[in-house]
């Protein structure tokens, strides 16, 4: 009986989301285990089977680190962005646009969907400009790191119309043809905002936003954009979570309905979030829409 209850719950959500676009940012931290990767991809394929339009934007920070390590190089991060010199941008492009992108494409295709891998450079999809950290007077140069200037969504829309899942590597270009490394969270946020996606889902290796990252006791279930920005200012949200939350905020401002931060290591986290009443992870919504801001201790 329990199974039937869950199924009937799911059917109501499937109807609600039928024909809707959902952007899934698949982060490198939740890609390190092959079994987990297979499961995450299978769930994304299932979204396609039930009539949604998934768009995948992937990261691959750990895979870049591995390749840098093999080549005897290291890199540091500033405010969640990899400082990217000339040699590093070549490695980033090779790893993200090649290995990581094609692995995801193969897995999706193996699971019965048709996926096509592209980078933001293809068809000038992601136009970028050089990003600096800090204010004008004290700005820090972090090399070939870009910030999104604009997204031309035509290629994505063409692929979606053809029944194909676009798999996007977070690289951008400018009018001169330079290549920029862009944190995948920002790319996902911009793509979701441009497509006016019903949902943006960020898959990572943590259950959502914790009140205290060192203690990992209490997870924030739901919060609004202003509160989220305040948590960054207060340092409660730090490191790799900063680009995620900034991307969530900008996508909501651009018309995305809801964003979710989920742990890819939890079994069927995407399906549980989309198709069950309980939901998991942290949801960020536009101001005035917070309904259930209860914090909770994560239940396994
Ligand atoms: N308040 C917070 N709650 C949860 N995670 C946080 C928080 N502040 C910082 N983090 C860090 O953000 C990390 C996720 O970002 P990141 O490592 O860039 O992942 P990904 O590769 O999935 O993009 C978490 O593993 C955690 O260490
Ligand atoms: C500028 C910048 O930091 N770019 C990222 C791009 C990959 C990424 O975002 O990967 P995750 O989602 O796995 O963190 C990087 O070089 O690591």
Please give the distance of CA 183 from its chain centroid, rounded to a whole number. Answer: 9
Residue 149: partners with Cβ closer than 8 Å, 6 or more residues away = 127, 128, 129, 172, 174
CA distances from 16 to 21, 67, 242, 249 (A): 12, 42, 31, 24
At 30, give phi and psi (nearest 5°): -95, 15
Determine the distance separating the centroid of ligand 2 and the alpha carbon of 5, expressed in angstroms.
Answer: 40
Q: What is the pLDDT of residue 210?
A: 96
Give exposure, 70-90, as e/b (b: 16+ Cβ within 10 Å): eeeeebeeebbbbbbeeebbe
Q: What is the pLDDT of residue 299?
A: 44
What integer is the mean pLDDT of 44-58? 97
Question: Residue ranges of the alpha helices (H) in the chain?
Answer: 2-17, 34-49, 61-70, 86-92, 101-110, 154-161, 184-195, 225-233, 241-253, 269-275
Q: What is the pLDDT of residue 3?
A: 80
Q: What is the token pair recorded at 38? A: 């297979």
Q: What is the pLDDT of residue 133?
A: 92
Give exposure, 49-62, as e/b (b: 16+ Cβ within 10 Å): ebebbbbbbbbbbb
What integer is the mean pLDDT of 39-67? 97
Residue 181 labelled as part of a binding site: yes
Closest residue to atom 5 of ligand 2, CA basis: 183
Determine the distance separating the centroid of ligand 1 and the alpha carbon of 85, expressed in angstroms.
Answer: 24
**CATH number of the domain where residue 130 is located:** 3.40.1160.10
pLDDT tens per residue across span 113-163: 999 999 999 999 999 999 999 887 789 999 999 999 999 999 999 999 999
pTM summary value: 0.94
CB of 60 closer than 6 A to ligand 2?
A: yes
CB of 184 closer than 6 A to ligand 2?
A: yes
Q: What is the pLDDT of residue 69?
A: 98
Say how many Å lie between the first and final Cα of the chain, rounded.
22
- Structural domain containing residue 215: 2-297
Taking the alpha carbons of 16, 19, 23, 24 in that order, is the dihedral positive or negative?
Answer: positive
CA distances from 227 to 94, 134, 161 (A): 38, 22, 37
Determine the distance separating the centroid of ligand 1 and the alpha carbon of 276, expressed in angstroms.
Answer: 25
The pLDDT > 70 percentage for the chain reads 95
Q: What is the pLDDT of residue 79?
A: 86
Burial class of residue 119 in the structure, from the number of CB atoms within 10 Å of its CB (0-12 exposed, 13-18 middle, 19+ buried): buried
129-138 CB contacts, 8 Å cutoff, 24+ apart: 129/174, 129/180, 130/180, 131/81, 131/180, 131/182, 133/78, 133/79, 133/81
Going by pLDDT thresholds of 50, 70 and 90, the confidence category of residue 207 is very high
Residue 255 labelled as part of a binding site: no
Residue 224 labelled as part of a binding site: no
CB of 183 closer than 6 A to ligand 1?
A: no
The more confidently predicted of residues 190 and 5 is: 190
Q: In this structure, are residues 33 and 265 in contact, taking their beta carbons and an 8 Å threshold?
A: yes
CB of 170 closer than 6 A to ligand 2?
A: yes
Closest residue to atom 14 of ligand 2, CA basis: 61
Closest residue to atom 10 of ligand 2, CA basis: 59
133: part of which helix (H) or strand (E)? Answer: strand 126-133
Determine the distance separating the centroid of ligand 1 and the alpha carbon of 146, expressed in angstroms.
Answer: 21
Q: What is the pLDDT of residue 288?
A: 58
Q: In this structure, are residues 132 and 140 in contact, taking their beta carbons and an 8 Å threshold?
A: yes
Determine the distance separating the centroid of ligand 1 and the alpha carbon of 239, expressed in angstroms.
Answer: 6
pLDDT tens per residue across span 54-112: 999 999 999 999 999 999 999 999 988 999 999 999 999 999 999 999 999 999 999 99
Question: How many domains is the chain partitioned into structurally?
Answer: 1
Closest residue to atom 10 of ligand 1, CA basis: 241
CB of 206 closer than 6 A to ligand 1?
A: yes
ipTM above 0.95, yes or no: yes
Q: What is the pLDDT of residue 277?
A: 85
Average pLDDT of the chain, as a whole number:
93
Eight-class DSSP state of 31 = G
Going by pLDDT thresholds of 50, 70 and 90, the confidence category of residue 294 is low
Residue 60 labelled as part of a binding site: yes
What integer is the mean pLDDT of 289-299? 56
Q: What is the token pair recorded at 144? A: 């070939």
CB of 295 closer than 6 A to ligand 1?
A: no
């Amino acid at each position: 009986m329990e199974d039937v209850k869950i199924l009937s719950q799911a059917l109501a959500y499937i109807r609600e989301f039928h024909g809707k676009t959902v952007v899934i940012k698949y982060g490198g931290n939740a890609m390190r285990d092959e079994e987990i990767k297979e499961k995450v991809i299978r769930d994304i394929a299932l979204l396609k089977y039930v009539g949604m339009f998934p768009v995948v934007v992937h990261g691959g920070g750990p895979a870049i680190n591995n390749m840098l390590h093999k080549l005897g190089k290291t890199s540091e991060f500033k405010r969640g962005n990899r400082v990217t010199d000339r040699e590093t941008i070549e490695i980033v492009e090779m790893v993200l646009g090649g290995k990581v992108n094609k692995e995801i494409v193969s897995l999706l295709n193996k699971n019965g969907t048709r996926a096509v891998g592209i980078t933001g450079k293809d068809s000038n999809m992601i136009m970028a400009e050089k990003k600096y950290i800090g204010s004008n007077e004290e700005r820090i140069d972090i090399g070939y790191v870009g910030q999104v200037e604009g997204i031309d969504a035509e290629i994505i829309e063409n692929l979606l119309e053809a029944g194909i899942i676009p798999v996007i590597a977070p690289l951008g270009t400018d009018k001169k043809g330079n290549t920029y490394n862009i944190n995948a969270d920002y790319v996902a946020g911009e793509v979701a905002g441009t497509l006016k996606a019903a949902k943006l889902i960020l898959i990572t290796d943590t259950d959502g936003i914790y009140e205290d990252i060192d203690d990992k006791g209490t997870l924030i279930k739901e919060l609004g954009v202003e509160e989220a920005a305040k948590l960054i200012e207060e340092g409660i949200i730090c490191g790799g979570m900063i680009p995620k939350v900034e991307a969530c905020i900008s996508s909501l401002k651009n018309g995305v309905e809801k964003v979710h931060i989920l742990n890819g290591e939890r079994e069927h986290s995407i399906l549980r979030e989309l198709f069950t009443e309980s939901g998991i992870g942290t949801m960020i919504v536009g101001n005035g829409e917070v309904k259930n801001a209860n914090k909770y201790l994560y239940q396994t």
